[in-house]
Amino acid sequence: MPLTRGSTAKGQAGPDWSATLKIGNKGKEAASAGKLEIDKDAFTPVAHEDFMRVDSLCSAILLNFYEHLQAEGLSAEDATELAKGADYFIRDFVVDFKALNLFYELPGIVRQFAGNWYISNTLEPDIGQLGGHLQGIRAFYRFLHERGFISAAYLEAIENESSDLAYYERRIETFWEIEGDGFIAWEAEGTLKEGNAKPGRA
């Protein structure tokens, strides 16, 4: 199920978006000044028992993103909605499902998320809800690019993939039309089997 504030799809406690993040002892000053000191390699899960550590690191940078949005003038409510969309994508899909470093540049990953994983892992997939997630994803990757953590080419790919709402709406419609063993053909378009790092996944 998609995230709600203060929870995750796995029923664990989620980020408190009102909390203050401190990265490199800068806290909210870092959010407003655009300065982050992080080790990107530390965001790579290297073993099954390592996912909790990486999840905590992702929560920290997402909190910084949330504070940045407010420093830019967004209300707490609007910042929360964008941060929730990014959180769901990063923590539940990129890290937990794909077992990838969030800074790893993999064109097509948003298409996998929005055109396959979100739809098949949500009881009632909705293009309005999905569109909200995609807005958060776009805003988060712009945040990363502004700080030099991802390339301009990758940001462009993310923005293009996250803007194709008509395609994702068709994917939802065709998902509900699946009969018999039709899921195999449906899944093959934007398959989740590509680009995985988690042990045991093809």
The tens digit of pLDDT for each residue in 161-173 reads 999 999 999 999 9
Distance CA 161, CA 144 (A): 17
Q: Considering only 44-48, 52-56, 66-70, which range has the smallest mean pLDDT?
A: 44-48
- Long-range own/partner contacts, residues 140-146 (CB < 8 A, 24 or more apart): 140/62, 140/65, 140/82, 140/83, 140/85, 140/86, 140/89, 140/90, 143/65, 143/68, 144/103, 146/34
- 47-51 mean pLDDT: 82
38: pLDDT confidence band, cut at 50, 70 and 90?
confident
Query: Hey, how many other C-beta atoms are within 10 angstroms of the C-beta on 11?
Result: 8
Distance CA 83, CA 63 (A): 8
pTM of the model: 0.81
- 135-151 mean pLDDT: 97
